[in-house]
Structure 1
Amino acid sequence: MNASNPQDQVQELRRQLKSLLDAATANERKLDRFDALERRLIAVSSMEELVNLLLVDCRDDFGLDAAELWLLDLDEELRRALPALPMVKPPRLLDGHGPLKDLFGATRSTRLIGPGADEGLLALAFAPESGIKSAALLPLIRQGLLIGSLHFGSRDPERYDSSSGTKFLDRLAAIAAIAIESMLNRERLRRAGMTDGLTGVHNRRYFDHRSLIEFSQAVRHRYPLACLFLDIDHFKAINDRHGHPTGDEVLRQVGGLIQRSLRTGDLAARYGGEEFVVLLPRTDEAGAREVAERIRQMVQDAPFVTPEGGTVSATLSVGLAMLPVEATSFGDLLAAADRAVYEAKRRGRNCTVVDESPAA
């Protein structure tokens, strides 16, 4: 600027003032967007709403090219809960702390990756095909523990500059972490009311409620409904010979094998003691027999690990029944499957029997 020319000085001052006003306006808009997002985070009522908000709405509202959410899931509680939820984009579930350590090291603070920064972090945080050139990596911390991370990415290499401040992002990360912890606690309470604490499958109370819904749907829409009763053979002998902690481990692991054998929409529950029950909507007899035999074979082949590190073996007797076309009560289907499992035990156990009595 030419100091001897007052008009040039005025023009330069006006230019600087306009630049400051534009920056202030942009910051005010950014603050408004962050404030609105924080209010929505605080008000979410479900885990799927929270995830969709962080990964879809945030991306759209802030003009991002990518958003990723990583959540630590050491006990696989999220892995069990999230697959059935209606999410446009699911989070990445981590079974260990390694990926988070790779991103944040020991600092556990927001990282801005811009031009000249470590591009290896971009490759870790986003899929290579996303074309992300700059990013903000937000650690999610609750009660001093790193529970996950939230990543915002842009194809514009200038979008995030490592020299910029992170005040807004730090606040967003803190509120997102609180919302996630709140939803996790709510999900734990919800599942506690309908889940068997030992095996992780649904409990008898939930089964009694859900089975009536499945029954009415099958009758109304005239689609097949199969019911399996699965009973662990000689379970008392396992408890007597190896102790109740080993028996509990067998129950827990059998429950896991059953769960992994089913489709979304199928229902498995611990019915009582060493007995499980499975409902297979829209499944004919051949398909139900295939499922029953797959579960029975998996249990037969599995080495069940004991608390002491040893192994024991176990087998299942399986009773299968199909809902009759003229059925008027779900209890008839349940009774038929119960008859079939007793027949399987009478035939020597470790087999699948289909109920063929007139009632079925």
Structure 2
Amino acid sequence: MKKEMIAKSVKLTNIQLREHNTLLRKNLKRIVSCSTDNEKAQERMDEIEKLIFDAPSLKVMFDAVITQGRRIFEINFITVVLENELKEFYPENYHHGEKNVYLGSENIFFDDLGGMDSNFSNGEPTLRGNLKKGSDKFFPNGISRRVRSEAIVPVHANGRIIAILNFGSQDNTRFMEGYGFRFLMRLARLVALKIEMFRVLGPEFRGENTDG
């Protein structure tokens, strides 16, 4: 009887040990996966940061964010809403009648952003997933119908919103609460710094001679 109890105890210990080892392997795999994902996210952030730093004008910067950002972040839609006062930093013929004459111009909008703070908690990005459609306000012209998750990122300068970066995906779970939050905040701060730099340089830096 005693031998049987010892045998059962040893068998149980071996089973528990195997289960413990299996759990350890799963946790290690998860850690490696998270580390790889973080490394990829950092590489993507480094690439978009370089595009922003190297941009010779406000127009070129946002064209890069829109056109190259879709590739870098592997998402479907990017739009930008800019405070009306930033129009002076764009070529005069940026929107010529009904025709958008510059690459990415159909995704750039100018508006009065006063009062937009109510759309954000503590001025932080809003991330939403599992949507039937995105926000019409930030994804106009029918784009919202194809958005299933979104990240709406306010850009602040001097205590107010001067731009809003909008990232939309057809994947329901691409943007969820907390996902990529730190990188979005970092991107917003970088864009804000660059906008302030162009403000100091003056509206002559419109980028008329670039194709985006």
Give yes or no for the alignment of 1:44 onto 2:59.
Answer: no
8 Å contact from structure 1 (residues 74, 96) kept in 2 = no
Q: After TM superposition, list the pairs within 5 Å mapping 1:269-288 onto structure 2.
A: none
Q: CA deviation at 1:140?
A: 0.7
Q: Which one is further off, 149-158 or 121-130?
A: 121-130
SS of structure 2 residue aligned to 1:188: coil
| Aligned equivalent of 2:161 | 146
| Aligned equivalent of 1:247 | none
Give yes or no for the alignment of 1:97 onto 2:97.
Answer: no
Sequence identity percentage: 23
Please point out which of 57, 66, 73 is paired with 2:68.
57
> Which whole-Å CA distance do the structure 1 matches of 2:205 and 2:143 have between them?
38
Give yes or no for the alignment of 1:66 onto 2:77.
Answer: yes
8 Å contact from structure 2 (residues 56, 205) kept in 1 = no
> Which whole-Å CA distance do the structure 2 matches of 1:180 and 1:162 have between them?
27
Cα deviation, 1:284-339, whole Å, max 9, x if unaligned, reads xxxxxxxxxxxxxxxxxxxxxxxxxxxxxxxxxxxxxxxxxxxxxxxxxxxxxxxx
> Which whole-Å CA distance do the structure 2 matches of 1:36 and 1:147 have between them?
24
| Aligned equivalent of 1:169 | 184
Report 1 or 2 for greater relative contact order, CA contacts < 8 Å, sequence distance ≥ 6. Answer: 2
Give yes or no for the alignment of 1:158 onto 2:169.
Answer: no
8 Å contact from structure 2 (residues 133, 148) kept in 1 = no
| Aligned equivalent of 2:9 | none
Cα deviation, 1:13-41, whole Å, max 9, x if unaligned, reads 11221121011111111111102211221
Q: CA deviation at 1:179?
A: 1.6
Q: Which has the larger radius of gyration?
A: 1
Q: After TM superposition, list the pairs within 5 Å mapping 1:1-360 onto structure 2.
A: 5=15, 6-74=17-85, 76-78=87-89, 81=92, 83=94, 87-90=102-105, 91-98=108-115, 100-101=116-117, 103-104=119-120, 107-115=122-130, 122-127=135-140, 128-130=142-144, 131-164=146-179, 166-189=181-204
Gaps of 5+ in 2: 1-11, 207-212
> Which whole-Å CA distance do the structure 2 matches of 1:89 and 1:76 have between them?
15
SS of structure 1 residue aligned to 2:203: helix
Q: Which amino acid aligns with 1:135?
A: E
> Which whole-Å CA distance do the structure 1 matches of 2:69 and 2:85 have between them?
27
8 Å contact from structure 1 (residues 69, 149) kept in 2 = yes
TM-score, normalised by the number of residues in structure 1: 0.46
> Which whole-Å CA distance do the structure 2 matches of 1:166 and 1:179 have between them?
20
> Which whole-Å CA distance do the structure 1 matches of 2:155 and 2:61 have between them?
14
Aligned length: 186
Give the direction of change, closer, same or farther, for the CA distance of 1:171–1:12 in structure 2 (3 Å limit).
same
> Which whole-Å CA distance do the structure 2 matches of 1:101 and 1:180 have between them?
19
SS of structure 2 residue aligned to 1:179: helix
Give the direction of change, closer, same or farther, for the CA distance of 1:24–1:102 in structure 2 (3 Å limit).
same
Q: CA deviation at 1:66?
A: 0.2
Give the direction of change, closer, same or farther, for the CA distance of 1:75–1:174 in structure 2 (3 Å limit).
closer
> Which whole-Å CA distance do the structure 2 matches of 1:165 and 1:96 have between them?
24
Q: Which amino acid aligns with 1:173?
A: A
Q: CA deviation at 1:114?
A: 1.6
8 Å contact from structure 1 (residues 140, 146) kept in 2 = yes
